[in-house]
Amino acid sequence: MTAVERIEADTAQRPAREGPGLRRILPWFLTGLITLLCVVPFLLVIAISFGRKIEGAAWTWDFTLANYQRFFVGALWPDDVTFLYLQQLGFSFWYAVIASLLAVLTALPFTLLLTRLSRRAQAAWLVFILSSLSLSEVFIVMGWDILLSNNSGLPALFKSTGLTLWLKDVGWFQTLRDWGLASPRNVKFKTSQFATILTMSYLVWPYAVILLYPALSRLDRSQSEAARTMGAGGWTVARTVILPAIRLPLFGSTLLLFVFLLGTYVAVTVFAAPAQHTTAVAIYTNIRGANLNAPFGATQAVILLISAGLCLGLGHRLNKWAEAR
Amino acid sequence: MSGLVLKGISKSFGGTRAVDRVNLTFAEGQLTALLGPSGCGKTTLLRMIAGLEAPSSGSLMLGGRDITGLPAHKRKFGMVFQSFALFPHLSVRDNVAYSLHISGASRTEAAETAKRLLDLVQLSAFGDRRIGELSGGQRQRVAIARALAQEPEVFLLDEPMSALDAKLREEMQVELRLLQQRLGITTIVVTHDQREAMTMADSIVVMSNGVVEQVGSPQDIYHRPDNAFVADFIGKANFYDGVTVPGGIRIGATRLAASPHFVNGSPVRVAIRPERACLDDEPGENRLKAKVTFVRDLGPIREYHLETVLGPMVVEYALGEGGKSFVIGDETEVRLPPEALHVFPDPQAAVAAE
């Protein structure tokens, strides 16, 4: 009998260790639980998005595309066309794109410097940044609300220190007015896109640092030094060595923060003008707010989800294309 | 360019002095090896030459021009790093042409230079490959070609062979030396491998604890070491502690004929290379009784480990060098020719005596 035959014979004779016990059931149970907790709510939202609002009451199950039609061209189409909801989606994208880019672009040099500190200093900074993640969105927005409020925040400081007068003297005040960041008397940050984007960016900044940190700490410093010995100055090193080396984590971090920021609610409601509110705010207003139109809220949620998915897909494609180049 | 000159170069990191008042002249077109154990300051010195570290004091002169404050990207010194530091997002050709691309050279010029350099390092067929697709030896050649692309005034290599296996390392040492001789570039190589330094260098700078211990040709360094550290670090040697007496040295109760240039009674360290001690019948001074305790046959070399009145001693015979053959337990005599004895002051013993 060869060794292989002997092993096969042994295997055949050995009694099965496990019956159809807990070990076999557990994977099925976990799969079922994940399906129930993750997939079913999604399916419910999709199903409700085809539902129908009953005037003066709640809503009923149905299969109508009226909600989708309303989102894209308005409820009165074809007699009248309105792009209000597309505009809200546009604001969602605008805020999320700019805030995520701002967060990543400011976190990048900070994280790069962080990786050059001593191990001890790095650990202290990381603990501090991680602990800032425990602050809720409401808490952070409240802080920024006070900081940017017209009566007690930066505008009051500008006025009391004479900075407002100085801005008027040098002519920059009018520029701020043109940008919607000043009233006739003083600077004004609420409500403004500036305050909205700044707060949203602040919200995700610690995430940006933590997402970029592993890639930047793995950067081979000798590559930058090699570039320097070959005649590359600081900006050339960043452009030709550091950025290509961290292209993927940089792109991934921006995309992740962008998708995360698409759903920002509190910062938008506090800092953005009502005409510049986002789809996330509209979803809440429809589902839990005054409108009580869950099917339309669900439709907006589905479209937001699909848009985010399309962005991820597009990002992936772009990345592949860049890699191929 | 007429050589690179370091004047009183020092570098401190906090309270630690990594390089201490180094004065060196690197002759034009020569290959100099900075040799020393780990942590002796040789890489820090090379990084200061490259402009990657600023000296705490001292100055660097290139062709009579002070370049101490000149940033790395304006020095035009090609450097090969220990890890090669190749750019993984670029092809082999683009790595080689990197310095030309960033300096604004035309695409045609960059491509032609890259082709010429890849031919030089025998990698012309690998231009389109990614760095990840190359072996260690090929990567090293790409790193060399890349550093040469900007036609550097000084070529620096930081332990360039350390990532290679032993056989490839030997081959590359010869290749690198031939390439350097062909191009005639002033070259400085950092290494902790004395064999590597002896193979490649016109001149060796032995360093220890941030200071230069000796500068000289490989033969000088080996045959005429300035101190016990150099004798110990370069090659092998048998060491014994003793004191000087008229016309010789006393080690324990044994007196050896030698010509030490020290005041009588000075504590000294005596070194003798294993290949300079003789197991023969020739008459002469310094014959000691010895017992063979171990024999090691390494092919080209046979080592006899002896127990002598001075202590353990290793004697080496090259293949075909003649000499008697011994086995473990044989009683014989070892002869230590006075001219083969290197006598150094023993600072440790002097400190202990004080």
Q: Are residues B120 and B269 in the same domain?
A: no
The answer to whether A310 touches A316, Cβ cutoff 8 Å, is no
CB contact under 8 A, B89 and A226: no
HSE-CB for A245 with a 13 A CA cutoff: 24
The reported pLDDT for the residue numbered A235 is 93
The reported pLDDT for the residue numbered B259 is 81
* CB contact residues (below 8 A), chain A span 259-278, against chain B: none
Q: Are residues B267 and B184 in the same domain?
A: no
When pLDDT is averaged across residues B306-327 and rounded to a whole number, the result is: 86
Q: Please give the single-letter amino acid code of residue A110.
A: F
Q: Which of A116, A229, A240, A325 to mutate to test the interface with B (most CBs of B within 10 A)?
A: A229
All residues of chain B having their beta carbon less than 8 Å from the beta carbon of residue A116 are none
Task: Return the bridge partners of B157, or none.
Answer: B80, B189
Q: Please give the single-letter amino acid code of residue A227.
A: A
The answer to whether A241 touches A223, Cβ cutoff 8 Å, is yes
A231 CB within 8 Å of a chain B CB: yes
CB contact under 8 A, B150 and A245: no
The answer to whether B344 touches B268, Cβ cutoff 8 Å, is yes
Kindly give, in sequence order, each residue whose CB lies less than 8 Å from that of residue B323, ignoring residues fewer than 6 positions away: B278, B279, B280, B317
CB contact under 8 A, B85 and A223: yes
pLDDT band at A6 (very low <50, low <70, confident <90, very high): low
Query: Rounded to whole angstroms, what are the CA distances from A229 to A263, A278, B25, B234, B244?
Result: 46, 50, 21, 31, 52
Q: Which domain CATH number covers B252?
A: 2.40.50.140
The reported pLDDT for the residue numbered A11 is 56
Q: Are residues B220 and B255 in the same domain?
A: no
Task: Count how many domains chain B has.
Answer: 2
Q: Are residues B135 and B196 in the same domain?
A: yes
The reported pLDDT for the residue numbered A18 is 54
CB contact under 8 A, A229 and B149: no
Please state, rounded to an integer, the average pLDDT across all residues of chain A.
89
Q: Are residues B10 and B134 in the same domain?
A: yes
With residues binned 3-state (H G I as helix, E B as strand, rest as coil), the percentages for chain B, rounded to 5, are 30, 35, 35
Domain termination residue (choose one: B228, B252, B271): B228
pLDDT band at B210 (very low <50, low <70, confident <90, very high): very high
Q: Are residues B181 and B276 in the same domain?
A: no
CB contact under 8 A, B146 and A230: yes
HSE-CB for B113 with a 13 A CA cutoff: 21
Rounded Cα gap, residues B47 and A74, in angstroms: 68
Rounded Cα gap, residues B60 and B37, in angstroms: 24
Rounded Cα gap, residues A205 and B174, in angstroms: 53
Residue among A227, A219, A222, A271 nearest A245 (CA): A219
Rounded Cα gap, residues A163 and A156, in angstroms: 10
The answer to whether B316 touches B274, Cβ cutoff 8 Å, is yes
Q: Are residues B68 and B167 in the same domain?
A: yes
Q: What interface predicted TM-score (ipTM) does this complex get?
A: 0.83
Neighbours of B42 (CB within 10 A): 29
| Rg (alpha carbons) of chain A, rounded to whole number | 27
Per DSSP, the three-state class of B82 is: coil
> What percent of chain B is modeled with pLDDT above 90?
69
Q: Which of B82, B86, B102 shows the shortest C-beta gap to A231?
A: B102
All residues of chain A having their beta carbon less than 8 Å from the beta carbon of residue B86 are 223, 226
Q: Which of B52, B81, B150 shows the shortest C-beta gap to A231?
A: B150
B50 CB within 8 Å of a chain A CB: yes
When pLDDT is averaged across residues A63-90 and rounded to a whole number, the result is: 92
Q: Which domain CATH number covers B198?
A: 3.40.50.300
Greater model confidence, B124 or A9: B124
All structural domains of chain A: 84-149+190-324 (1.10.3720.10)
Q: Are residues B129 and B251 in the same domain?
A: no
Note the pLDDT tens digit of each residue in A7-64.
566 655 555 555 567 888 899 999 999 888 888 988 999 999 999 988 877 888 999 9
The answer to whether B166 touches B196, Cβ cutoff 8 Å, is no
Domain termination residue (choose one: B203, B228, B253): B228
CB contact under 8 A, A227 and B78: no
pLDDT band at B300 (very low <50, low <70, confident <90, very high): confident
Total residue count of chain A as it appears in this document: 325
Note the pLDDT tens digit of each residue in A263-307.
999 999 999 999 999 999 999 998 887 778 899 999 999 999 999
DSSP letter, residue A37: I
The answer to whether A300 touches A92, Cβ cutoff 8 Å, is no
Residue A253, both tokens:
């971090």
Domain termination residue (choose one: B228, B257, B277): B228
CB contact under 8 A, A232 and B88: no
Closest B-chain CA to A233: B73
Domain containing B285 equals: 236-353
Task: Please tell me the distance in Å from B100's CA to the nearest CA on chain A.
Answer: 9
Note the pLDDT tens digit of each residue in B22-77.
999 999 999 999 999 999 999 999 999 999 999 999 999 998 899 999 999 999 89
Q: Are residues B127 and B255 in the same domain?
A: no
Note the pLDDT tens digit of each residue in B156-207.
999 988 877 888 788 888 888 988 888 899 999 999 998 899 989 999 999 9
Q: Are residues B48 and B191 in the same domain?
A: yes
Place of tokens 């008042």: B21
The reported pLDDT for the residue numbered A59 is 87
Q: Which of B99, B100, B117 to mutate to test the interface with A (most CBs of A within 10 A)?
A: B99
Greater model confidence, B349 or A315: A315
Burial of B78 (0-12, 13-18, 19+ CB in 10 A): buried
Residue A271, both tokens:
């800092």
Please state, rounded to an integer, the average pLDDT across all residues of chain B.
90
pLDDT band at B255 (very low <50, low <70, confident <90, very high): very high
Residue among A232, A238, A223 nearest B72 (CA): A232
When pLDDT is averaged across residues B292-312 and rounded to a whole number, the result is: 92
Residue among B171, B160, B163 nearest B136 (CA): B163
CA atoms A205, A208, A214, A218: torsion sign: negative
Note the pLDDT tens digit of each residue in A173-224.
999 999 889 988 899 998 899 999 999 999 999 999 999 999 999 999 999 9
Q: Are residues B138 and B50 in the same domain?
A: yes
The reported pLDDT for the residue numbered A1 is 56
Position A164 pLDDT exceeds 60: yes
Lowest mean pLDDT among A5-14, A60-69, A163-172: A5-14
Q: Which of A228, A233, A241 shows the shortest C-beta gap to B87?
A: A241
Q: Are residues B57 and B189 in the same domain?
A: yes
Rounded Cα gap, residues B111 and B100, in angstroms: 9
